A = this chain, B = another copy of it.
Amino acid sequence: MTNAKSAVLLLSGGLDSYTAGAIARAQGFSICALTVRYGQVHAREVDAARRVARALGADEHLELSVDLSALGGSALTGGSAIPKDRRLDDDEIPPTYVPARNTVFLSLALAWAEALGARDLFIGVNALDYSGYPDCRPEYIDAFTQLADLATKAGVEGESFRVHAPLITLSKAEIIRKGLILGLDYGLTHSCYDPDSDERPCGRCDSCRLRARGFADAGVADPLMTT
């Protein structure tokens, strides 16, 4: 079905996973993109994931549903209001944290990779995320990689999975610069958490504000804000 150079990419439709996918392509991987409908209030991002998967020339784009909103515990799945105008450099883990979300996502990516015969997973977590979300830290990614080999038939048979997090040490501005060098059109992406915003981002949720600061620091205009 696929060759040894295929990678499974977790693709949300935001700018990070788009950039992670472009890096995977630049490294010679063909892309099997996985988007999860997890009960996120900003399900509009899935439309962006479809545009981005096409732009990346993905071999396959699979959408899976698992309703994490039934489990509760997050503003991002409707448990409370999406915070606006929050202090961004707060030490606290924000209410948009979704319990164990990346573990659910990576386990689904691992399942698909094993079935495909792929051994490489890509996830767009980065330094900004891991200052707030525990499941974006380098030590978390390392622990999942170790688990992957213990969890699978492929691992027992002596193969190793690689979980690539190529943005993990990068700031948003560095991610944007890297993506622009790779020719990406960030106008395809969606970042806003607000379920009530229309095509235009709300500009006030954490995701909008981190994105705006990233474009400002990179010294370029966000195509979503110029149309």
A residues apposed to B, CB below 8 Å: 62, 64-68, 70-74, 93, 97-104, 107-108, 110-112, 114-116, 134-135, 137, 139-140, 143-144, 146-148, 150-153, 155-156
Contact = CB atoms under 8 A, between A and B. Distances in A.
Contacts of A72: 112, 115-116
A71 B148 CA distance: 16
Contacts of A116: 72
Contact of A115 (B66, B71, B150): B71
Closest 10 A-B residue pairs measured CB to CB? A73-B115, A100-B111, A99-B114, A66-B66, A103-B107, A72-B115, A99-B111, A71-B112, A100-B110, A104-B107
A147 B103 contact: yes
B73 A64 contact: no
14 contacts: A62-B71, A66-B108, A68-B111, A71-B111, A72-B115, A73-B115, A97-B153, A99-B114, A99-B152, A103-B147, A104-B104, A134-B150, A134-B152, A134-B153
